[in-house]
């Protein structure tokens, strides 16, 4: 995660690619063997969030998920470790008139919130950047209310030689940290205290959806 705290070039290249859908779709196909349209359609559904729903977006990056939010959206907290990403997210929110978004710099393994503060948590393209994704997921579960929903995706190992080679490259430069398999991701979610887990992958991108179990982690 320290790489993202200080790396300007990586952050800027990633943000430019992911926020320009044609480039993001090309990159997804070339690097990860995936059809990125699913990711963008997931983001497009965010505008249907119920009024008053409390949403945590972690890591928010440069505000990719803001693309379809309504200007009056309230209760939305966007968190990232990178000061540069947060500056880009702040500017993106300003351009879209999203004045109700709260932007915070913090570490996902120690979220600065009380238990059960959020109705929904979003985590897109972040888990593979964390040194300890299991702890990150446990923190996301902690700050969700019972039956609160987590939705996101992550890069995973084991989908093919080309994709695994790119993962090794990204780990070598410090952009990725702990990259698990789909089996690891399923286990991390369950051990964090999530149930009703739905998990599938397209190429090296795994999509997950789960609810915080009423009793929390075992």
Q: Can you give the pLDDT at residue 172?
A: 95
2 burial type by CB count under 10 A (0-12 exposed, 13-18 middle, 19+ buried): exposed
Q: What would the two tokens of residue 39 be?
A: 């990711």
Q: What is the mean pLDDT of each run of 10 residues along the chain (218 residues)?
A: 73 92 97 97 81 90 91 85 94 92 95 97 97 97 97 97 97 95 97 96 97 74
pLDDT on residue 50: 55
Domains of the chain (ranges plus CATH)?
2-212 (3.40.50.150)
| Residue closest to 198 by CA, chosen among 125, 130, 149 | 149
> Whole-angstrom Cα distance, residue 71 to residue 95?
10
pLDDT for res 99: 87
Q: What pLDDT was estimated at residue 5?
A: 72
Q: What is the pLDDT of residue 53?
A: 87
What per-residue confidence (pLDDT) applies to 51?
64
Q: What is the CA radius of gyration of the chain?
A: 16
pLDDT score at 152:
97
Element of type H or E holding 77: strand 76-80
The pLDDT of residue 217 is 53
């Amino acid at each position: 995660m320290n790489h993202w705290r200080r790396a300007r070039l990586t952050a800027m290249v990633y943000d430019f690619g992911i926020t320009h859908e044609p480039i993001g779709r090309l990159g997804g196909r070339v690097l990860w063997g995936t059809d990125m349209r699913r990711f963008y359609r997931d983001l497009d559904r965010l505008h249907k969030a119920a009024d008053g729903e409390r949403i945590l977006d972690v890591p928010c990056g440069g505000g990719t998920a803001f693309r379809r939010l309504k200007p009056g959206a309230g209760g939305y907290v966007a968190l990232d470790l990178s000061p540069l990403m947060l500056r880009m997210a702040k500017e993106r929110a300003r351009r879209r008139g999203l004045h109700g978004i709260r932007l915070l710099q913090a570490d996902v393994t120690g979220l600065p919130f009380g238990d059960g503060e959020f109705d929904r948590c979003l985590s897109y393209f972040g888990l593979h950047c964390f040194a300890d994704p299991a702890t990150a997921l446990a923190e996301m579960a902690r700050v969700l209310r019972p039956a609160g929903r987590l939705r996101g995706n992550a890069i995973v190992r084991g989908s093919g030689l080309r994709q695994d080679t790119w993962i090794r490259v990204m780990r070598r430069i410090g952009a990725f940290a702990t990259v698990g398999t789909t089996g690891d991701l399923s286990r991390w979610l369950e051990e964090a205290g999530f149930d009703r887990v739905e998990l599938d992958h397209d190429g090296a991108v795994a999509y997950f959806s789960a609810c915080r179990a009423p009793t929390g982690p075992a």
